[in-house]
């Protein structure tokens, strides 16, 4: 955060990064595709391209895992030895952000490279206008016309597999992952289905696959166990070609349920929880849990074990030297369904939880791992967000990133080679709880609340460098800065006919027409 806004790496820095990348890449085994056989839609590349042999990409995203939930980010109670190891062997990013404080829009920013002022899925399904929800099914689909991260990498010649929760379109809709760039998808398609960890079925390439023993409330097969079984198979099946493995796990999202063996570290000799417990009775989509603290810890440790399984499989397949692995979360920790983020300090030192635009709702862990490619044991405070993943992976793989998106490539922050670009600003909007907007510029963070009822709402202002917990609202002392950041909010929100909640809530209540929609 020390360089002026708008700073760009020089051509010499970029060229150096290219040479270093080419040297690293040359050590890896080539993919099966014939040399020089460009895939449809791939960017034209020179003979000196750094990514003639593009790395495999594994992107693991936990669900509702807070900034402070895992060891590398300060957790002291819940055990996460695999993520501890991943961080020791890779780079930990302390200022990485989700796209949104809830699931669907966060995933939309990842898949489109656009922030929530532009991305097609702006909010969870409950916020779609009722008439349209009836017409199109529960989860509003990403349109065919949208080019997704999965499509970008498939165009580059990657095998593309998704294992976990999709949430951006139901089976057969235009948002079906099989119509959005995935060769294979196994798991949950809708958000609400994914609230259950012992479902009666999962989708296997668009068809329902029964999970025997889960009928009538049975707890025979834990969904994420079988999801990771399938994900691991994908690695072995595609070891001879570049692959993109997307693993959107549905843990530790409520309901708070874990397999019996996952509880072991958190039970005493008599089988009782080692934590204080207040049983959760269950409500709505969420099942009951007699030991919610132990169960939550078990879910986070199970998440950790899944990461370990994937890293082990990469080694067993002999591809760890040409694979980049990312681990993050889609939003902050939840207070719903029996979750109790205060017990484990799940937001770490940050203010807020899921559905907040304070840091605890949107700042999430991020670890990048790639032996010989990503520096080991490094900690980076580079500021980036889920919508930067698409252009970053484009640079790392030689794929063609869409024009006009909000994301920027931070590839040098991942490889440790060169200096990564910095954002002029980051923007978030949230359509529930009265409507919220936030902007981060440098270390300044502005948050507007209740913007639907009060289009004139003035932003709160925090100095994250001096006050990372956002305790001191310094808006009154910095009126000009507040005006500037509210102008960013007014500019970055573009209207949406599907998710219109904020369309009348432009900062300052201006009735001026919005700027032209970006492509």
Binding site for Ca ion (CB under 5 A): 63-64, 103, 330-331
**Minimum CB distance to Ca ion, residue 329 (Å):** 7
By beta-carbon proximity to Ca ion, the closer residue of 70 and 420 is 70
C-beta neighbour count of 77 within 10 angstroms: 15
**Minimum CB distance to Ca ion, residue 162 (Å):** 16
State the number of CA atoms in the 13 A half-sphere of 487 facing the CB: 6
By beta-carbon proximity to Ca ion, the closer residue of 50 and 167 is 167
By beta-carbon proximity to Ca ion, the closer residue of 285 and 454 is 285
**Minimum CB distance to Ca ion, residue 116 (Å):** 14
Written in H, E and C, the secondary structure of 283-331 is ECCECCECCHHHHHHHHHHHHHHHHHHHHHHHHHCCCHHHEEEEEEECC
State the number of CA atoms in the 13 A half-sphere of 147 facing the CB: 16
Q: How far apart are CA 266 and CA 256, in angstroms?
A: 14
By beta-carbon proximity to Ca ion, the closer residue of 63 and 492 is 63
Q: What's 219's DSSP letter?
A: -
**Minimum CB distance to Ca ion, residue 93 (Å):** 19
CA 457 to chain centroid: 29
Supply 342's token pair.
Answer: 């205060």
**Minimum CB distance to Ca ion, residue 253 (Å):** 6
Q: How far apart are CA 513 and CA 508, in angstroms?
A: 13
Cβ atoms of residues 8 and 421 within 8 Å: yes
C-beta neighbour count of 453 within 10 angstroms: 10
By beta-carbon proximity to Ca ion, the closer residue of 66 and 287 is 66
**Minimum CB distance to Ca ion, residue 274 (Å):** 27
**Minimum CB distance to Ca ion, residue 293 (Å):** 20
**Minimum CB distance to Ca ion, residue 292 (Å):** 18
Give me the residue label for tokens 């993109």.
244
By beta-carbon proximity to Ca ion, the closer residue of 313 and 336 is 336
User: If phi over 0 gives left and psi between -120 and 50 gives alpha, with beta otherwise, what is residue 156?
Assistant: alpha
Q: How far apart are CA 344 and CA 295, in angstroms?
A: 12
Which residues on adjacent β-strands are paired with residue 141?
A: none
By beta-carbon proximity to Ca ion, the closer residue of 163 and 444 is 163
By beta-carbon proximity to Ca ion, the closer residue of 239 and 355 is 355
Indicate the SS3 state at residue 487.
Answer: helix
By beta-carbon proximity to Ca ion, the closer residue of 107 and 423 is 107
**Minimum CB distance to Ca ion, residue 333 (Å):** 10
Total length of the chain = 519
Which residues on adjacent β-strands are paired with residue 58?
A: 245, 325
What distances in angstroms separate CA 414 from CA 387, 395, 422, 458, one per listed residue?
15, 11, 13, 37
């Amino acid at each position: 955060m020390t360089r002026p806004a708008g700073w760009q790496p020089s051509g010499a820095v970029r060229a150096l990064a290219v040479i270093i990348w080419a040297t690293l890449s040359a050590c890896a085994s080539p993919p099966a595709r014939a040399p020089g056989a460009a895939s449809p839609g791939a960017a034209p590349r020179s003979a000196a391209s750094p990514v003639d042999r593009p790395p495999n990409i594994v992107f693991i995203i936990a669900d509702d895992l807070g900034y402070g939930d895992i060891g590398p980010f300060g957790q002291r109670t819940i055990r996460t030895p695999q993520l501890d190891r991943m961080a020791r062997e890779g780079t930990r990013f302390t200022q990485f952000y989700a796209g949104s404080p809830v699931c669907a829009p966060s995933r939309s920013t990842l898949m489109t490279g656009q922030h929530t002022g532009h991305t097609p899925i702006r909010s969870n399904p409950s916020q779609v206008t009722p008439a349209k929800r009836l017409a199109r099914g529960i989860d509003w689909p990403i349109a065919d016309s949208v080019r997704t991260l999965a499509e970008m990498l498939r165009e580059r010649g990657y095998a593309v597999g998704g294992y976990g929760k999709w949430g951006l379109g139901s089976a057969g809709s235009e948002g079906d992952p099989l119509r959005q760039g995935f060769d294979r998808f196994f798991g949950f398609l809708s958000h609400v289905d994914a609230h259950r960890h012992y479902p009666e079925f999962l989708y296997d390439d668009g068809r329902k696959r029964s999970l025997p023993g889960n009928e009538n409330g049975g707890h025979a097969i834990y969904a994420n166990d079988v999801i990771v079984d399938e994900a691991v198979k994908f690695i072995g099946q595609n070891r001879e070609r570049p692959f993109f493995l997307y693993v959107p796990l549905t843990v530790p999202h409520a309901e708070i349920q874990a397999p019996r063996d996952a509880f072991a570290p958190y039970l005493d000799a008599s089988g009782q929880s080692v934590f204080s417990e207040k049983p959760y009775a269950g409500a709505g989509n969420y099942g009951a849990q007699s030991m919610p603290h132990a169960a939550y810890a078990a879910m986070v440790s199970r998440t950790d074990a899944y990461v370990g399984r994937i890293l082990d499989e990469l080694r067993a397949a002999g591809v760890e030297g040409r694979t980049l692995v990312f681990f993050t979360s889609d939003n902050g920790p939840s207070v719903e369904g029996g979750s109790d983020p205060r017990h484990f300090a799940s937001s770490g030192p940050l203010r807020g939880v899921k559905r907040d635009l304070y840091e605890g709702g949107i700042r999430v862990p991020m670890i990048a791992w790639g032996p010989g490619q990503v520096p080991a044991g490094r900690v980076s405070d580079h500021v980036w967000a889920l919508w930067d993943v698409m252009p970053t992976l484009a640079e790392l793989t030689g794929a063609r990133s869409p024009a006009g998106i909000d994301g920027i490539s931070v590839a040098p922050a991942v490889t440790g080679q060169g200096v990564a670009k910095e954002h002029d600003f980051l923007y978030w909007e949230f359509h529930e709880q009265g409507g919220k907007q936030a902007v981060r510029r440098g270390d300044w963070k502005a948050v507007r609340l209740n913007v639907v009822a009060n289009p004139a709402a003035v932003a709160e202002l925090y100095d994250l460098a001096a006050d990372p917990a956002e305790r001191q609202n310094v808006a009154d002392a910095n009126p000009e800065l507040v005006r500037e950041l509210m102008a960013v909010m007014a500019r970055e929100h573009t209207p949406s006919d599907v998710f219109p909640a904020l369309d009348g809530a432009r900062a300052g209540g201006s009735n001026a027409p919005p700027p032209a929609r970006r492509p």
